[in-house]
Amino acid sequence: MSVNLSTNLLRTFQQLAEVKPSAQPQQTAQQVGLPEEKVVSQVEGAPTPVQLEQATDAFAAALAADPAWANRFQVNAGATAQELGIPGTLAAAPQAPELGGWDAVGTDPAVLKQTKQNNCGAAVAVMLGNDLGTSKTQPGTDAQKMDALESRFTQGQGTSPHELSNMLANQGVKVTQTSSKLDTKALDEALARGGKAAVQVDSCLVDPTTKPGETGRAHWVSVEGKDDQGRYLLKDPSTGTKIPADAQRLADSMEISWNQHQGGGMMLVEGANGTSEAQAAAEGGLKAVALGNTDGGGSRAMANFGRESS
């Protein structure tokens, strides 16, 4: 860190550096009438007590002449976060990068784009079914499967965690573990085994139009793996893109979802491997309780959804 000193203060330090030791011979303790153990030796070249007092007075005068500079070094003892300008809660802090500040990997055929404002959950279920379960072998297009899941398991206002676990069971996928917060160890282990995750976050995580301090809606995305920089690769049905997010950003978006929408978290999933739909749904429903009962919809800004899914 660099600090610009006032001219007066700088001159004071320069003068002090140029001070030379006194030419007078050093006196012994006996000569000055003090006990030997009470005397502190004078370091050669160091300023005398009188010179130090003069420098201290000059420093104080410089601070008084330039209060703005001095205030930068005041100790904020007892100050609250609000008084210091620090957000008191996560929800109050800027959560999304500036417009254009996030780096989407780009449109990918493996990422289904939701066809309605609120059917991101159905899109995630079909994507995970394609990756792990039986979606690819089921009749109909991906768009038709999304419609069928939404119609059967939801009221059309979004997808709750319990409803998503039912959708996943229908697509041949079972929920193995859940958490209301990001558990990187469990997630990394699941990905290493070939599993995936469905994550309910605040859509500020993936919405490129979100400005600092804004929040979006509860929104479902899937996690398919990690890139070579250690970032999680998310499949976002609202934009049809893969988006990298580091662990802190992903964890923050889950916490914002709880703060703003009273629900969120992660579901670790894998192929049902012969488990019946009814059994997978029952087991998944019990695990889904940890994520609350909030409906995940779409990104707030993505109002126009086409029916481009195959």
Q: Which H helix or E strand runs over 208?
A: none
Question: Edge-to-edge strand order for the sheet containing 106-107?
Answer: 106-107, 241-245, 232-236, 218-226, 196-202, 265-271, 173-179
**What's the one-letter identity of residue 12?**
T
What DSSP assignment string belongs to 249-303? HHHHHHHHHHHHHSB-EEEEEEE-TT--HHHHHHHHHHHHGGGBSPPBB--TT--
A 10 A CB-CB count for 33 gives 7
How far is Cα 160 from Cα 291, in angstroms, rounded to an integer? 9
**205 burial via Cβ count (<10 Å: 0-12, 13-18, 19+):** buried
The tokens for 1 are: 């860190």
DSSP 24: S
d(CA 278, CA 106): 37
Residue 92 per-residue DSSP state: G
Cβ neighbors of 99 (< 8 A, separation 6 or more) are 208, 209, 211
pTM (predicted TM-score)? 0.66
Please give the Cα distance from 150 to 3 (Å, whole number): 61
Each residue's pLDDT tens digit in the chain (310 positions)? 444 544 444 444 444 444 444 444 445 545 544 444 443 344 444 455 555 455 445 545 544 554 443 443 333 333 333 443 333 344 443 344 332 334 555 567 779 999 999 999 999 999 999 999 999 999 999 999 999 999 999 999 999 999 999 999 999 999 999 999 999 999 999 999 999 999 999 998 888 777 877 888 999 999 999 999 999 999 999 989 999 999 999 999 999 999 999 999 999 999 999 899 999 999 999 999 999 999 998 665 444 444 433 3
Nearest partner of 138 among 151, 125, 154, judged by Cα: 125
